Structure 1
Amino acid sequence: MLIPKLLWPLLEYEISTSSVESIEAIINTFTRKWLGFPPCQRDVAMYCRKAKLRLPLISIVEEYKCRKARLMTMLEDSDETAVRLFQSHLTINRKWKVCKAVEQEKKALK
């Protein structure tokens, strides 16, 4: 319930990847306390899909990156030229670039 409400503003507004990582770190600390995990428990254990105890949690950073990449491909494939020109505004992050990630995934599919 919280994650979709949080991800919509992250997708709509230009927020850096490091800010999303800090938000996820804060959420992870409270989630760990709520679940009763020890402080030494790593975040990987919470999001692991192959462990015996699979929690229905998703990484906010990974979901943020997926949604930004989906938005980039949606803007790229648009018929309107004004919409296609808007995709250049998605590339302001220094840590993770949407256009490079989409290009790498397209090359991997070929």
Structure 2
Amino acid sequence: MLIPKLLWPLLVYDICSTTIEAIEAKINKYTKWLGVSPGLSDAAMYCPKAKLKLPMKSILEEYKCGKARLLTILEESDDPGVKTVQPSLKTGRKWKVTEAVDEAKEWLKMKEVIGQT
């Protein structure tokens, strides 16, 4: 119930990814009620491909997906007023949303050139 309530403020406000990591670390402290050891890594907690996956989502991953969606929506808008203004989404020093979206677009172009194998 916490993640859906957090997603909108994380999307609208300029919050750095370090702050999101700190929030996630605080939330992870309260997972003792699951009966897991305190040293359990985040990869084990949020891995969607694990055999024993937990029904939890990483707030950091949801934050990154939301910012990438927002940037794409703003860049590819049909409204000329929105399209002419270059969006600047501040996400801190560790992770840049523009670099991540550009990398994903390049990966999709490469996948299209290679085709199905």
Q: TM-score, normalised by structure 2?
A: 0.84
Residue of structure 2 equivalent to 1:11 = 11
Counterpart AA for 1:29: K
Compare the two structures and name the one with the higher helix fraction: 1
Quote the residue 1:108 is aligned against.
107
Could you tell me which residue of structure 2 aligns to residue 75 of structure 1? 74
Which ranges in structure 1 are unaligned for 5 or more consecutive residues?
none
1:48 is matched with which residue?
A: 47
The structure-2 alpha-carbon separation of the partners of 1:57 and 1:92, relative to structure 1 and needing over 3 Å to count, comes to: closer
Give the TM-score of the pair, scaled to structure 1.
0.89
Paired AA for residue 98 in structure 1: V
Report the count of equivalent residues: 108
Residue 30 of structure 2 is matched in structure 1 by 30
Q: Percent identity?
A: 60
Q: Tell me which of the two structures has the higher relative contact order, counting C-alpha pairs closer than 8 angstroms and 6 or more residues apart.
A: 2
- Structure 1 or 2, whichever has the larger Rg, is 2
Give the aligned CA root-mean-square deviation in angstroms: 1.4
